[in-house]
Amino acid sequence: MEKTILLCDMNSFFASVHQSYNPQLRNKPVIVAGNPEKRKGIVVAASYDAKAKGVYTTMRFYRARKLCPEAVFVQPNHALYRRYSEAIMRFLRRIAPCEVASVDEAYLDISELVAKGHTARIIAEYIQDKLYRELLIPSSIGAGPTKLIAKMCADVKKPGGFVEMGARQYRTYFWPQTVGSLHGCGKSTAERLQRKGIRTIGELAAQPVEDLRSWFGKKGEYLHQAANGTYESPVNPERQKGEKSIGSSRTFAFDTMDQALIAKTAREFSEKLADKLKQKQKKAKTIVVEVKFDYRQAVSRSLALAGATDEAEEIYRAAMQLYEVYFSSQPLRLFGIRLHHLLDEEYEQLRFSF
């Protein structure tokens, strides 16, 4: 089966989230900046009408204000961004295998849908329409036979665009462009290439891979394949950037079966982890107890809760239940609690309707 991959990119995501959440910000230029009240800091994100005035990410507050005095400045709200992101990713996972690339980007492997007669354009337009109608979040989508080509295509037409290319079209379109526009070729790498006389993606593609390998090591192989449009990596639904779990553990001086000591340690960890959850505005869905016997490899057992929690008492009860059922009959050298499947506190409140 030939592969067809989509890269869904939420346009000006932070600014779009504020406009979605607060109706008073709609149809106005919005700039997300460090501290609007004190009128200082840097621009974190800007809506496209603000970008049209020359505002860009990392610009100083005073400069952005000068360029776009009519803009509404808002402070970053990462908990809100996570809520929107999680709702969007849940929706995308219902369509096809989905790999979360960042808070505002995801790859979808739609190969099976295409094999059944659907086109990448129809699927992309459905996603874009749904995201905008339900959440007022605009998106650009790229499509191609690999993740890299899909990623490069998604950047061609923003906001709200759709671009699909095969490997041959990719080479025709991107080879005349500068190496700095190649995904994965950072500023310092681009400067090194330019010092060696390699200025375009096409020139990079024509460079012998042995030369690139000698200059950049393994990354040289990636650069050669990426420039030629041949670099491939599968969509991995298990991969997700960001914090997936938090935990605490302790190694005892001697192996112990002292249940009072274990209970005291579990209570301490539960309170510590509950505090962390509240600070991060998260709740945990799965409690894991991890132990070691002597210096052997760690063993763990987990318990999925009926509902996500940030309460120390619930964490403690689940941890002690796991300990008593699985580990209380053997001396332990290490005891730990880890919380998995971290969700935002208000994750239930933002859902798509179908």
Among candidates 104, 187, 182, 172, which has minimal Cα distance to 148? 182
User: b vs e for 172-197, b when ≥16 Cβ sit within 10 Å of the residue's Cβ?
Assistant: eebbeebbeebbebeeebbeebeeee
The order of strands in the sheet holding 105-109 is 98-102, 105-109, 5-10, 139-144, 162-164
Q: Tokens for 150, please give them.
A: 């899909």
Structural tokens at position 233: 């990596």
Token pair recorded at residue 273: 């982890």
User: Is 290 known to be catalytic?
Assistant: no
Residue 220 CA to residue 226 CA, distance in Å, equals 10
Coil, strand or helix at 82: helix
The phi, psi pair for 161, rounded to 5°, reads -95, 170
Q: Which of 99, 105, 203, 314 is catalytic?
A: 105
Sheet hosting strand 245-256, strand order edge to edge: 245-256, 332-344, 282-292, 299-309
The gap from C-alpha 343 to its chain's centroid, in whole angstroms, comes to 14
For residue 336, give every residue at least 6 positions away whose Cβ sits within 8 Å of its Cβ, in sequence order, or none: 247, 248, 249, 250, 269, 289, 290, 291
CA angle 145, 151, 155 (to 5 degrees): 130
Q: Which amino acid is at 270?
A: S
Fill in the amino acid letter for 251.
Answer: T
Residue by residue, DSSP assigns 112-169 as HHHHTT--HHHHHHHHHHHHHHHH---EEEEEESSHHHHHHHHTTSTTT-EEE--HHH
Q: Which positions are catalytic?
A: 105
